[in-house]
Amino acid sequence: MASSQNGASADTTLQSVDLEEEQHESYFQLVWQRFRKSRPAIAGGLMVLSLIILAIFAEFFAPVDPTDANLQDSFIPPTRIRLIDAEGNFHLRPFIYNQVVTIDPKTFEPLWEDDPEQRYDIQFMVKSWEWKILGLFPTRYHLFGVGEGGKIHLLGTEKQGRDLWGRACAAGRISLSLSLFATIVSIVVGAVVGIVSGYYGGVIDNVIQRFVEFVASFPQLPLWLALAAIIPRTWDSLQVFIIMVIIFSLLSWTLLAREVRGKVLAFRETDFILAAKEMGASDARIIFLHLFPNSISHIIVVLTLTIPQIILAEAFLSFLGIGIQEPLVSWGFLMRDAQNLQTLGTHTWIMTPVVFIIVAVLGFNFLGDGLRDAADPYSIV
């Protein structure tokens, strides 16, 4: 089947390509060959992969339990990792000093200082609090940590005294999975609607396209604000998460539907589709075995470019307080705490989760750009 698609998708025989080599390389191999030549795309892929790994194994990378709230430990600044101690001696093994707080007698500003009396070496693959790999297998191992009594917070702590680094890693679970699910649902809906609309044409196409316009013209922010008010009060954060996925996907499929329709309109009159029709292939067979696979490259590109949009949309809504709520945590939710004078003036580390959002958005955009360039491996550069 792959060869028929490939053969049909372009008149490759006209190109000066080594026919023998081409026969041994699938479409995806060609895409990969071209993709890996793009350094930004590889970098983007690695950025995304890093965030995914950090998200899945957040507890492994977190030396302190990110769900462990201690309100008395609120707003501790990031721990400084040292190699030189208070007396000026160099140590090969990195270490930290615990931080102690004093209050400025005039401004009441909390002043955090390292306490040289409380020194803790940083250890790798330490055993401390228990967590479950993939939520299933219990373990006590963590990538790094300090001995009992030591407090290491790479990005400081937030208002409930929870470790911000661990929370930012774990927040990727919601932010990434929400965007991924919402994108996948929107891709499925958009692709099916686009293909059906383009393939059947006529009245069906007309009706579907008007519906697409209707959905595309829906004002999203008022819809969110209305939803925030009417969501049943017994719904917990997970249910709100699911409804967010559904709404995001139902509002973001229209662009893809339009684009796929355009592609299918072009394919509809090509020889391989006409041939399939002549041979008596059913509509479903033509749609799912011919038209859909031929649009897949385009769909993948849209997928990678839609994800960052949804990450930003989720961050925006959670920042406004109408998205994810406690006890779930997303990057946008973490940023909600960064919108006051106190954060800008005193607790600047509360803004650090924005780096995760930037890395994710840049990563997916680089990846998407690379895929877009690589998706049509038969084009002449």
Question: Which residues of the shown chain bind another protein in the complex (CB under 8 A)?
Answer: 26, 28-29, 52, 55-56, 58, 67, 69-72, 74-75, 101, 103, 105-110, 132, 134-136, 159-161, 170, 173-174, 176-177, 180-181, 225, 228-229, 231, 233-238, 241, 320-322, 325-328, 336, 339-346
Q: How far is the CB of 34 from another protein (least distance, A)?
A: 15
DSSP calls for 257-303: HHHHHHHHHHHHTSHHHHHHHHTT--HHHIIIIIIHHHHHHHHHHHH
Look at residue 370 and give its three-state secondary structure. Answer: helix
E runs forming strands in the chain: 82-84, 90-103, 110-133, 137-146
Q: Which residues contact 251 (CB under 8 A, 6 or more apart)?
A: 215, 218, 220, 223
Distance CA 115, CA 21 (A): 66
Two structure tokens written together for 27: 């479409």
Q: Which is nearer to another protein, 89 or 234 (by Cβ)?
A: 234
Q: How far is the CB of 76 from another protein (least distance, A)?
A: 10
Q: Which is nearer to another protein, 174 or 208 (by Cβ)?
A: 174
Distance CA 354, CA 321 (A): 16
Q: Tell me the residue type at 75.
A: F
Q: How far is the CB of 14 from another protein (least distance, A)?
A: 25
Q: Which is nearer to another protein, 72 or 217 (by Cβ)?
A: 72
Residue 201 half-sphere exposure toward CB, CA atoms < 13 A: 9
Q: Which is nearer to another protein, 118 or 177 (by Cβ)?
A: 177
Cis peptide before 327, with omega less than 30 degrees from 0?
A: yes
Q: How far is the CB of 203 from another protein (least distance, A)?
A: 37
Q: Which is nearer to another protein, 286 or 328 (by Cβ)?
A: 328
Q: Which is nearer to another protein, 26 or 206 (by Cβ)?
A: 26
Only one residue has tokens 């957040």, namely 58
Q: How far is the CB of 267 from another protein (least distance, A)?
A: 22
Q: How far is the CB of 159 from another protein (least distance, A)?
A: 4
Q: How far is the CB of 258 from another protein (least distance, A)?
A: 27
Radius of gyration, alpha carbons of the chain: 26
DSSP calls for 59-93: HHH-SS-TT---GGGTTPPPPPPEEE-TTS-EEEE
Q: How far is the CB of 231 from another protein (least distance, A)?
A: 7
Q: Classify burial at 312, counting beta carbons within 10 Å of its beta carbon; exposed 0-12, middle 13-18, buried 19 or more.
A: middle
Q: Which is nearer to another protein, 24 or 93 (by Cβ)?
A: 24
Q: Which is nearer to another protein, 118 or 325 (by Cβ)?
A: 325
